[in-house]
A and B are shown apart, each in its own frame.
Chain A
Amino acid sequence: MKKSVLFGALTVTGLVAGAAQAATLDDVKERGELNCGVVTGLAGFGAPDANGVWEGFDVAVCRAVAAAVLGDPTAVNFVPTTGQTRFTALASGEIDMLARNTTWTFSRDTDLKFDFAGVNYYDGQGFIVPTALGVSSAKDLDGATVCIQTGTTTELNLADFFRNNNISYEPVPVETNAEAQQQYLAGACDAYTTDASGLAATRATFENPGEHVILPEIISKEPLGPLVRHGDNEWGDIVRWTLNALIAAEEFGVTSANVNELAAAPGTNPEVNRLLGTEGELGAMIGLENEWAKNAIAAGGNYGEIFEKNIGENTPIGLARGLNAQWTNGGLIYAPPFR
Chain B
Amino acid sequence: MTTTSDAPKAGFRPSQLIYDTRYRSLTIQVIAFIALMLGLSWLVSNTIANLSALGKDFDFGFLGQRAGYDINQRLIEYDSASSHGRAALVGILNTLLIAVLGCALATVVGVLAGVLRLSKNWLVAKLMAVYVEGFRNIPVLLWILLVFALMTEATPQPRDFREGGDASMILGDTIAITNRGVFIPAPFWGAGAGILLAVFLVSLVAIFFWRRYAHRTQEQTGRILPIGWGTLGLLIVPTAVAFLALGMTSGRVTQPVLATGATEGMTLTDYAASQQTINACAVPFSTESLNLRRLMRSQEIRFNYVAVEDAAGALAALEAGNCNVLSLPASVDLATVPAGAVALSDTIRRGMPVEFERPVLGGFNFEGGLQLRNSLIALWLALSLYTGAFIAENVRGGILSVSKGQTEAAYALGIKPSRTMRLVILPQALRVIIPPMISQYLNLTKNSSLAIAVGYMDVRSTLGGITINQTGKELEGMLLLGLFYLVTSLVISSAMNLYNASVKLKER
Contact = CB atoms under 8 A, between A and B. Distances in A.
Interface in B468-496: 468-472, 474
A17 interface: yes
Interface stretch (B39-47, B219-227, B283-291): B39-47
Contact of A231 (B34, B55, B365, B470): B55
Contacts of B254: none
Interface residues of A, number: 52
A171 interface: yes
Contacts of B452: 175
A188 B152 contact: yes
Given A21-B54, A91-B54, A158-B70, A112 B472 contact: yes
Interface in A235-271: none
A15 B483 CA distance: 31
Nearest to A169: B70
B465 interface: yes
A178 interface: no
A325 interface: no
Given A9-B45, A166-B304, A186-B152, A87 B461 contact: no
B80 A84 contact: no
B88 to A, nearest CB: 15
Given A112-B472, A143-B365, A186 B153 contact: yes
A171 B461 CA distance: 13
Which among B71, B153, B304, B363 has the greatest number of chain A C-beta atoms within 10 A? B363
Which among B49, B364, B468, B474 has the greatest number of chain A C-beta atoms within 10 A? B364
Contacts of A158: 70
B457 A17 contact: no
Q: How large is the interface on B (under 10, 10 to 19, 20 to 34, 35 or more residues)?
A: 35 or more
Contacts of A162: 70
A111 B472 contact: yes
B167 to A, nearest CB: 12
Interface stretch (A148-156, A287-295, A304-312): A148-156
Contact of A113 (B41, B180, B472): B472
A188 B53 contact: no
B38 interface: yes
B54 A113 contact: yes
B476 to A, nearest CB: 13
B157 A144 contact: no
B80 A160 contact: yes
B363 A142 contact: yes
Interface string A132-157: 01000000011111000011000110
B477 to A, nearest CB: 11
Given A91-B472, A145-B364, A156-B69, A18 B41 contact: no
Interface string A167-193: 001111111000000010011111000
Contact of B179 (A18, A151, A175, A186): A186
A84 B69 CA distance: 14
B466 interface: yes
A31 to B, nearest CB: 20
Interface in B8-50: 34, 38, 41-42, 45-46, 49-50
Given A84-B469, A113-B54, A231-B54, A91 B364 contact: no
Interface of A: 2, 5-6, 9-10, 13-14, 17-18, 20-21, 83-84, 87-88, 91, 107, 111-113, 133, 141-145, 150-151, 155-156, 158-160, 162-163, 166, 169-175, 183, 186-190, 229-231
23 contacts: A9-B41, A13-B49, A17-B50, A18-B53, A83-B469, A113-B55, A144-B364, A150-B455, A155-B70, A156-B68, A156-B470, A159-B69, A159-B80, A160-B68, A171-B69, A172-B72, A173-B461, A175-B452, A175-B455, A183-B152, A187-B179, A230-B55, A231-B55
* Ranked 4 nearest A-B pairs via Cβ: A159-B80, A151-B469, A112-B472, A17-B49
Given A2-B34, A88-B468, A141-B364, 20 more contacts: A5-B38, A9-B41, A10-B41, A18-B53, A21-B53, A84-B465, A87-B472, A143-B367, A144-B364, A145-B180, A150-B455, A151-B470, A170-B365, A171-B71, A172-B180, A174-B455, A175-B452, A183-B152, A186-B179, A189-B180
